[in-house]
Structure 1
Amino acid sequence: MEEKHKRILRRNRVHLVKELDLSDLCDVLLRKDVFTQSMINDIKNCETKRDQARKLVKDLETRGNEAFSAFLEGLRVTGQQNLLELLQKSAPRVHFQPGKSTEAGYLLIQPHPVYIEDAVPKKPRTQPSPPPDEVFKGPEVRPRRDSIQYYKMDARPCGLCLIINNVEFEPKTELSIRKGSNVDCDKLEKRFKSLNFVVEVRTNLKQRQIKSELSALSRKDHSIYDCCVVVILSHGTEVRHNKIRSAGSWIEIDQVSHNRFPGAVYGVDGNHVSVQEITNYLNGQNCPSLQSKPKIFFIQACGGGEKDIGFEVSPDEAKPSIGGDGDQTDAIPFSSSSESLSTSDETDAIPTLPTPSDILVSYSTFPGYVSWRATVSGSWYVEVLDNILEEHAATLDLTTMLTLVNDKVSQNSAKGLYKQMPGSFNFLRKHVYFQTSE
């Protein structure tokens, strides 16, 4: 299916999920070879009518260039005129001709050429049809495949979500209280509960306690779930893989190379846990019941001590920024944070790490830089992430929503000067669509 047709389906997904009547529509789409019988069975096996409609709309995007027009035809012949008109408002208009009746009583409809209304001026009916170069034909239809490009996300509950919220650090660490972090924690706890996750919150954990909670999470049986989410709110730093020579052999000081997931988060005792180690607890080797399922990590912590002052843009690109004098950072600067991060890429450490398939790590800031947090409203990153999930989780996939988060946070400004750029390390193989209550 073409991207513009996918956007139309996503834009109207809430209405489609609420109002779509699948009783006869599935049979029409089956006869038109849009879906196979096994795909129809998968749709009908979903627990609720809304889940069935949501899966049909998602799967429709994978079914070739004729699927959209066939879907419109299906809406027409099954009497779902309101949805048909809703989609046609922003879609190329499809004109139908009466056709012969099928054995089931439905019309065999032959569509006329499809015209892009935005590209072709409206003309009186007496004028001839547009010239051939204005007729939308689309690329050649590719062979259809039964493989779905979305992770299964219809288990109830969808999965477990662990939130680690470190606010008050031991005096010996000289780490400041993270004012506003409880606001972040409350927001994300409510958000992931609304997305049908079982949420557990742990507060003020030491390094060994962080590891213990992650280890316990990895030992749980996730076979009844479709996803797992870990959120860590803490001070952070940039760490490196260092080695010293002793008695003719190399001894590693930091045991984990960060060639895949840089950075680390602090326990309240001042000892850090690397992001690489955090993700390893849930990879396919250490947590078999999460194999081939999305494992998503959200890290609200600094990636280092550098502050980004941004760069000048043209007036057309400039947007109002927010942020004030009360903004704080979650930075614990690494002593050599100004050095290139690429020096941590130790080739002899790569073979010892499992492949991090089906993992996405979303960082609040670019590796090596500070992450800003307002003492009253919480961190920039979590506030924007929560708003984007609330507004778009029903219609957009996770990676698209994180791009919107990146854009929104990048427009903020701390003390009128400093900027922040979130980002992700994405090893997912498919799209992730969260469950919503629409």
Structure 2
Amino acid sequence: MIDADYFEPRSVTEHSLPDDYKGLEKSSLDESDATAVETYPDIEINLSELSYSNKFTKRGYFVIFNYQHYSEKSKYYGKPRRGSERDVQRLKQIMTELGFLVKVYDDLTMRETVIKLKRYGEGDMEEYQMFGCAILAHGEANGEIFCHSGSMNIRGFVNPIRKNRTLVGKPKLFFVQACRGHDYMEGWRGRAGAQIQHVEEEPKPFRTPRTWPIDADVLVHYATTEGHLSWRSPTKGSWFISTLCDCLRWTYSEEFHQTLIRVNASVAQDFVSITSNVQSDKKKEMPQIQSQLTKLLYFKPLDDLE
């Protein structure tokens, strides 16, 4: 597992270039699906249970798209994401321990990425419990992700997977280590005193539907909020992925959202940039969870799955 001594209260990293970029290539998978309502007309989802099913004997794929080096055609040419190999190493280790079949793709072009995603989007995952994906790349505002050459929107990664019929009603998890803009995040002095309270409510009864939203059961955990930079150590990897891999040791003992909140809290509290540049010195990072999961998600060791 992850060495707890890795988490230093202060870390140094590189950040994205401050110039804007226009004329980005778009993936053909970014187009919206106008017939989403009719996509699964005969599916029946049992909402009487509050947790995702553990009846599967296989966890699922966890796909890592690692964009560390950039071609001469890219605006990030000469700006390698040093330290990203550490993120890949940690993700591969923890996800393998959690029972995922891990696949790593390094420095694919936009077109190569689209082809890979199309294969997963059309693949038969009926016997799998869920699907997971990590995207490690340079990024900019409005969901722009830079591949080795070319770029695509975050929707280009999510759309093929959310449309996979064999993953309907199953968790589809995405973790995005990328900047979402060029602004530095300031930090308050001192610590926040507010406590998070858990409130339990009885589910509202309603008739079991025969259709299911195509955007349901998708979770995207971003390294930072819209408009802000994310941080990465050239020797130890990114704040977000390092913390995620460490916090996943809690996965078997609590609901998955609680684990992700641990990630948010740790990144918010334990990290601050220390640089020689007054503009980038003493800056913070705040991960963001975008969850459309419709049930509670509890991981169990594969041997305990029904």
Q: TM-score, normalised by structure 1?
A: 0.50
How many residues are treated as equivalent by the alignment? 231
Q: 1:400 is matched with which residue?
A: 258
Q: 1:309 is matched with which residue?
A: 186
Rg larger in 1 or in 2?
1
Higher relative contact order (CA 8 A, sep 6+): 2
Q: 1:266 is matched with which residue?
A: 146
Q: Please state how far the C-alpha of 1:314 moved relative to its aligned partner.
A: 5.8
Q: Which sections of structure 1, spanning at least 5 residues, go unmatched? A: 1-144, 240-262, 318-353
What is the letter of the counterpart of residue 238 of structure 2?
Answer: S
Q: Please state how far the C-alpha of 1:173 moved relative to its aligned partner.
A: 2.0
Q: 1:430 is matched with which residue?
A: 295
Q: 1:152 is matched with which residue?
A: 53
Q: Which sections of structure 2, spanning at least 5 residues, go unmatched? A: 1-45, 195-212, 275-280
**Contact preservation (8 Å) 2:139, 2:181:** yes
Deviating 4+ runs (over 4 angstroms): 314-317
What is the letter of the counterpart of residue 263 of structure 2?
Answer: V
Which of 285, 292, 295 is matched with 2:172 structurally?
295
Quick check: 1:369 aligned with 2:216?
no
Quick check: 1:187 aligned with 2:90?
yes
**Contact preservation (8 Å) 1:303, 1:371:** yes
Secondary structure of residue in 2 paired with 1:410: helix
**Contact preservation (8 Å) 1:305, 1:369:** yes
Against the structure 1 CA distance between its residues 315 and 399, is the aligned structure 2 distance closer, same or farther, given a 3 Å change threshold?
Answer: closer
**Contact preservation (8 Å) 1:194, 1:436:** no
Residues 347-387 of structure 1 deviation map (CA, whole Å, 9 limit, x = unaligned): xxxxxxx7410000000111111100001110000110000
Q: Please state how far the C-alpha of 1:164 moved relative to its aligned partner.
A: 0.6
Residues 48-69 of structure 1 deviation map (CA, whole Å, 9 limit, x = unaligned): xxxxxxxxxxxxxxxxxxxxxx
Against the structure 1 CA distance between its residues 437 and 159, is the aligned structure 2 distance closer, same or farther, given a 3 Å change threshold?
Answer: closer
**Contact preservation (8 Å) 2:92, 2:102:** yes
Quick check: 1:172 aligned with 2:73?
yes
Q: Please state how far the C-alpha of 1:146 moved relative to its aligned partner.
A: 9.2
Q: Please state how far the C-alpha of 1:315 moved relative to its aligned partner.
A: 8.8
What is the letter of the counterpart of residue 133 of structure 2?
Answer: V
Against the structure 1 CA distance between its residues 171 and 194, is the aligned structure 2 distance closer, same or farther, given a 3 Å change threshold?
Answer: same
**Contact preservation (8 Å) 2:59, 2:302:** no
Distance across 2 between alignment mates of 1:226 and 1:376: 34
Quick check: 1:413 aligned with 2:272?
yes
**Contact preservation (8 Å) 2:58, 2:302:** no
Percent of paired sites with the same residue: 28
> Larger helix proportion, structure 1 or 2?
1
Q: 1:224 is matched with which residue?
A: 127
Which of 149, 154, 161 is matched with 1:282 structurally?
161
Secondary structure of residue in 2 paired with 1:417: coil
Q: Please state how far the C-alpha of 1:150 moved relative to its aligned partner.
A: 0.9
Distance across 2 between alignment mates of 1:307 and 1:366: 11
Distance across 2 between alignment mates of 1:315 and 1:291: 39
**Contact preservation (8 Å) 1:154, 1:435:** no
Distance across 2 between alignment mates of 1:355 and 1:146: 16
Distance across 1 between alignment mates of 2:66 and 2:94: 15
RMSD over aligned Cα atoms: 2.1
Q: TM-score, normalised by structure 2?
A: 0.71
Distance across 1 between alignment mates of 2:252 and 2:101: 19
Distance across 1 between alignment mates of 2:47 and 2:256: 23
